[in-house]
């Protein structure tokens, strides 16, 4: 339910965590990841670690990336995209055949 808030509330280094006062406090870095559905998650890593390029979104399971404007493509295409692509393919069938015939004709001309 409130997993996002829980993660934020326990972010290492930002809260009064007693164990970290004993000397085993490590430098942390927090990286924000956005998925294609607009969810954001902010896992934290040890400062010396190179954060991964992709992080699984905990809310929808899709891959999330550090670039908000260009999140990674979802593992599965969304239904409406598939349908749109299908419609596009259907509508350009005639054009596609004409283009293909033209390309083949050019190929033959080049060979001869």
- Contact set with Zn ion (CB under 5 A): 35, 37, 39, 57, 59-60
Q: Rounded to the nearest whole angstrom, what is the least distance from the CB of residue 54 to Zn ion in the complex?
A: 12
Q: Rounded to the nearest whole angstrom, what is the least distance from the CB of residue 90 to Zn ion in the complex?
A: 31
Please identify, using beta-carbon distances, which residue of 31 and 107 lies nearer to Zn ion. 31
- Residue 61's Cα: distance from chain center in Å? 10
Largest CA distance in the chain: 82
Please identify, using beta-carbon distances, which residue of 78 and 93 lies nearer to Zn ion. 78
81 CB contacts (<8 Å, ≥6 apart)?
Answer: none
């Amino acid at each position: 339910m409130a997993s996002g808030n829980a993660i934020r509330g326990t972010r290492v280094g930002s809260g009064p965590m007693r164990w970290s006062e004993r000397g085993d406090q490590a430098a942390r870095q927090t990286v924000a990841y956005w998925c294609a559905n607009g969810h954001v998650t902010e896992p934290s890593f040890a400062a010396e670690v190179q954060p991964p390029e992709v992080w699984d979104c905990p809310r929808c399971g899709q891959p999330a990336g550090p670039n908000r404007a260009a999140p990674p493509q979802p593992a599965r295409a969304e239904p409406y995209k598939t349908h749109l692509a299908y419609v596009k393919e259907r509508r350009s069938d005639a054009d596609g055949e004409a283009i293909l015939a033209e390309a083949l004709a050019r190929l033959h001309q080049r060979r001869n």
